[in-house]
Amino acid sequence: MKKILIAAALVASTAMPATAVYAADAPAASTPKPVCFILPLMPDCLSAWKADTNAFMHKMTPAPKAAAKTAAVVVPAAPKLPAMPSCTKAAAGAGHLFDCK
């Protein structure tokens, strides 16, 4: 019974989104025709794609800033690494391969 309820809850959560619906945003002024998805290089389709891309880029381009302040970049010093161990081959029958200091 619990498995059926869990499955029903998962199906209901995917069928009814709990967040805002994003399809309510207004489309761009000139949306490409459906034939433009198949033949995108036709002259009227190409102009529609360019207009759509320009409208999208206009939304995504941030507004220009008045004056960019240049701050000095502080680079932290590199961490001090431990010295590499100096290892020599152990004597035969020592029970280990290397003697490291």
Residue 28: closest CA among 53, 61, 8: 53
Alpha carbon distance 37, 52 (integer Å): 13
| pTM of this structure | 0.27
Residue 58: closest CA among 67, 50, 66, 46: 50
pLDDT of residue 96: 92
The string of pLDDT tens digits covering residues 47-93 is 887 887 777 776 666 666 666 667 788 888 999 988 888 999 999 99
Residue 24 has pLDDT above 50, yes or no: no
